[in-house]
Structure 1
C-alpha cells in the first residue's frame, strides 16, 4: 500500500535554466498542494540551481508514490538530482560518543523537549562513561569497545545497530575514533561529525592546543559530513568564540564546549529537516 502524506519536502539541484520554478509550482498546484515555504539558490560559478520546497496538501492525504511518479517528468526534463519525502516523518538517529558528554546531552535534552525533530534510537560508545546519562533519557546504550585489531568488527556492529533500529543518520558527538574508509563510504551523506576547531584550520588531534600554540583570538567548532579524508567533509555549520592570550589550553577546551554543542545540534536539525544539499565539496543550507 502506498504511503499517504499531507506534507512533502522537495529538494533538488540541476543545471540552471529558465522555467524550473514555474514548472515545479505548476505541477504541485495540479496535484493539490500549496507551497508553505520555498528557498532557491544559483551557484553563479557552476551555473547550478538548488531548491527546497515545503508543500502542504489542500485535498487531504495523497499517495507519495503517485506524486513521485508525476514529478518524474519534470525531474527528467531538467535532469535533476532530487528527493521527495514525507515532511512529517522524523529521521531516526544513532549517536556515537566517547568520553565527552556535552554534545550528547544537548542532543538528548533537545530531543526530549521536542525541539529537535528527530527520533533518537540509540547511543553507541567505545566507553561506558555515558551509559548513565543515556539511560536516564530511556535510550538504548550499546557499549562497543574497539582496538586497532577489532576495528572492522566493531564498525560492522555499528552498522548492524543502525540497521536494526532503522537509523538513517549517524551523529558523531565527540566520538574520538577515526572511521574507516569503508564505513565512510557506506555512510556517505548520512554521518555528521563535530570537530572542535574552525575548519579548515587545526585539523586532527588536540585542535585547541594547536590554536593555543598559534595564539589565536577566536576558537570555533565545525559540523561537517564525514568523508574518508579526515576533517575534509562538506561543512554544514560553524561558530566561533572570542578568546585572549590569557586563556590556557584547558580554558579553550572548556569555552569551546558550548559552541560545539550548539553547532552540532543545528547541523542535525537542518539535516533532519532536509535543508542541506550537496554542492560538490560544499553544501547549500536553506536555514529558512
Structure 2
C-alpha cells in the first residue's frame, strides 16, 4: 500500500461520528426505567425484559419497550419520556406540546402497544394453549416535568407515571416467572448495535458481518450474543507504515475469533427508521453488539 492509500486509510479511521443526542436521550430514559424496575421488582421476583422484539404476522418485527413478569402476571409497557404537556383524543391520538414550542402527533400510542401485547399473547398461547397468563397493557409517562390532561378517554392501555409503575411492581407479584412463559421469552431477540468511532450508536438488524465465509460459518453456530471489539491504529505515525486493524469477535459461549484486516471489509445493517439496508465500513467501527438469534417463534 502506497503512502497516498495509507494517508486516506488513516483519515478514514479517524472520522468522528458524534452521538445522536435526541435518540440517546430517549435510550438513556429507557435504560434508567429498566434499572429502576429491576431494583423495585427484586423483592417480588419480577423478571425484566427490555427492548423485546416479536414477529408481526403483517411483516417484520415490533419492539416492546419493557416486559415485566412475576408468576403468571405480565405487564407490557410502552415508555414515553415526553416533557411539556400532552392531550389524548377520542380516536386514540396523542398530541404532544413541547416545552420549546411546537406540537407532535403520536397516533394511536395505546392502540399500538395493545396490539403488540395481543401478538405476544397469541405467540405464547400457540406454544402453550393451557398456560394461563394475565396480560396488562400500560403506557408509562416517565418525565417528571410532564403536564397531564384533565381527562383521558377510554383507550386500550392504562396510563401511569414512573412512580405509579414502580409502586405497582412493589405491591404485587411475589412469584418466580412462570417456566413456560420464561421459555417463550427466551426465544425473542432485541436490536443489534454498531458503535461508531466518536460515540454514534446505530441500532437495527445486522444482515451481514462482512468478514468472509470463515467468519460467517463460525457465526452459524452462535447461540447467544455476539460482541466485537475493534482496535485501529489512529496515531499519526501509522501513516508511514502498513498497519492493520484487529477485530475480535466473541460470543456468549466463550468462543472467540481474531481477524486482522486493512481497508476493505464492510458489514451490512438495516438501521432503524431507514428505508433500506446500508453498508458500514469496519474501519470506522469501534465495536458491535448483536442480539442472540431468535428462536423459531421469535
TM-score, reference length from structure 1? 0.24
Task: Pick the structure with more helix per residue.
Answer: 1
Q: Which has the higher contact order (CA 8 A, sep 6+)?
A: 2
Q: Give the TM-score taking structure 2 as reference length.
A: 0.23
Task: Please identify the structure whose Cα radius of gyration is greater.
Answer: 2
